[in-house]
Amino acid sequence: MSRKTQPTPRKGYFGEYGGMFVPETLVSALAELDRAFAEAMADEKFLAELDRCHREIAGRPSELYLARRLSEKCGGAKIYLKREDMNHTGAHKINNTLGQALLAVRMGKKRVIAETGAGQHGVATATAATVLGLDCDVYMGTEDIRRQQLNVFRMELLGARVLPVETGQRTLKDATNEAMRDWMASSEHTHYILGSVCGPHPFPTMVREFQCCIGREAREQMLAAEGRLPEVIVACVGGGSNAAGIFHPMIDDKQVRMVGVEAAGTGLRLGEHAATLCAGSPGVLHGAKSYVLQSEDGQTAPVHSVSAGLDYPGVGPEHSYWKRIGRVSYTCRTDDEALAATAALSRAEGIIPALESAHAVAEAMDLAGKMSADEIVLVNLSGRGDKDCNEIAEILRRRRGG
């Protein structure tokens, strides 16, 4: 029975995407979280405290930086970078973990848990937990533990426990499963700090709200610098939290084009990439209806990206909605393009971007080259590349050897 469904304003839905597809055991925890989040966001004291944490701990506001030499190199539009890479812990992730950790304290929880792929969200969670006095356990696939030794060490140094996950592909998706399982048994005293705009309601809305500081600042900074908004905003999309954070506050500025950049990996056959919106189809994963990479039979597909942070077979439901209504266009860039953009930005501006963010830089460089000098491209530089240096060195070594 295929009935035409109009987007209906159901709670926790973005058009037909979103929802709360979780075991009954989690429903009351999500309802409690939904209430607590709504109350907190209506409480001036909570918002002031969040703002203080963002300033004093994360180091906000992050700079808006005109990348002159990179712009010249591309020979077209001016490229501005929103410097989320300058945040404490090295990426936009801290914006969300501080928000959720404050909420955990407000709800009287003593412990937080998180999933992590590359370890950036794990480090940001461990940091927020420590500074707010919460116990912290981070689930991480053993494959990622092997690839991201430095972040494992950072989390442990920050006082968190890293719990290895041996199931499935032993990466982010599997760590997410394990964190949800933990939460089913522990929600009475534990809050689950989910790291992206994914998962069941209220997570996609809550994480976006905690990330919207990016777009609010960028909007003001753009107006101050240029007296107008950019022609186009570019952000990378794995789960989609940095993109949602910069897009959402300008989503009603209809003249601003928005581009989300996914990981095309080594090719667009299933298993070679993580381009969920570009190559996937609507499905249900980790509690939400959204685009998913899965087999004909509904089994989650293996994914690949050189950047561990984009290496995920799902995407936030609001992005599926923005794709459906045509507000944001989604494209993808390969591992090689991301590596080339990493080198280009490093050499032009002295900024080593995270491999995730480098996907957005690659897209922005191409777009800027085709635009005129009085136009503006704004890139969300979501994280810095220190964490990736070992991985990049390894790839370059292999290539020289081969």
Partner 1 sequence: MSGLDDNRLVRTFAELRSAGRKTLSPFLTAGFPDVETTAALLHDFEARGVKVCELGIPFSDPIADGPTIQSSFTSALDAGFTTADAMELVRGYRSAGGGIALVAMVSYSIVFRRDASRFLSEAADAGFDGVLIPDLPLEEAGEFEPLAAERGLANVMLIAPTTPPQRRLQIAGHCRGFIYYVSVAGITGERDKLPEATIEQVRELRGHTDTAICIGFGISRPEMVRTVCEVADGAIVGSAIVHRIADAIQQGASRDDIVARAGEFVSELIEPTL
Active-site positions read 93, 115, 382
The answer to whether residue 9 forms part of the interface with partner 1 (CB under 8 A) is no
Q: What is the CA radius of gyration of the chain?
A: 20
The answer to whether residue 159 forms part of the interface with partner 1 (CB under 8 A) is no
Q: How many CB atoms lie within 10 A of CB 40?
A: 20
What is the spatial distance between Cα 264 and Cα 236, in angstroms, rounded to a whole number? 11
Among 24, 44, 252, 374, binds partner 1 (CB under 8 A): 24
The β-bridge relationship of strands 232-236 and 257-265 is parallel
Task: Quote the tokens at residue 64.
Answer: 């808006």
Q: Which x/- pattern, by CB under 8 A, does the window 291-330 give for partner 1?
A: -x-x-xxxxx------------------------------
| Smaller CB separation from partner 1, 167 or 390 | 167
Among 181, 216, 257, 327, binds partner 1 (CB under 8 A): 181
Q: How many CB atoms lie within 10 A of CB 45?
A: 9
Among 135, 168, 251, 266, binds partner 1 (CB under 8 A): 168
What is the spatial distance between Cα 376 and Cα 373, in angstroms, rounded to a whole number? 8
| Smaller CB separation from partner 1, 82 or 273 | 273
What is the spatial distance between Cα 372 and Cα 143, in angstroms, rounded to a whole number? 44
The answer to whether residue 38 forms part of the interface with partner 1 (CB under 8 A) is no
Among 14, 16, 17, 22, binds partner 1 (CB under 8 A): 22
Q: Which x/- pattern, by CB under 8 A, does the window 338-377 give for partner 1?
A: ----------------------------------------
What is the spatial distance between Cα 68 and Cα 78, in angstroms, rounded to a whole number? 7
Residue 94 phi, psi dihedral angles, 5° rounding: -65, -30
**What is the C-alpha end-to-end distance of the chain, expressed in Å?**
54
| DSSP three-state, residue 126 | helix
Among 38, 68, 75, 167, binds partner 1 (CB under 8 A): 167
| Smaller CB separation from partner 1, 95 or 169 | 169
Residue 302 burial (CB < 10 Å; 0-12/13-18/19+)?
Answer: middle
Interface region with partner 1, contact rule CB under 8 A, candidates 42-50, 181-189, 359-367, 368-376: 181-189
What is the spatial distance between Cα 167 and Cα 327, in angstroms, rounded to a whole number? 37
The answer to whether residue 390 forms part of the interface with partner 1 (CB under 8 A) is no
| Smaller CB separation from partner 1, 159 or 298 | 298
Which positions lie near partner 1, rule CB under 8 A? 1-2, 19-29, 167-168, 173-174, 177, 180-181, 184-185, 187-188, 282-287, 289, 292, 294, 296-300
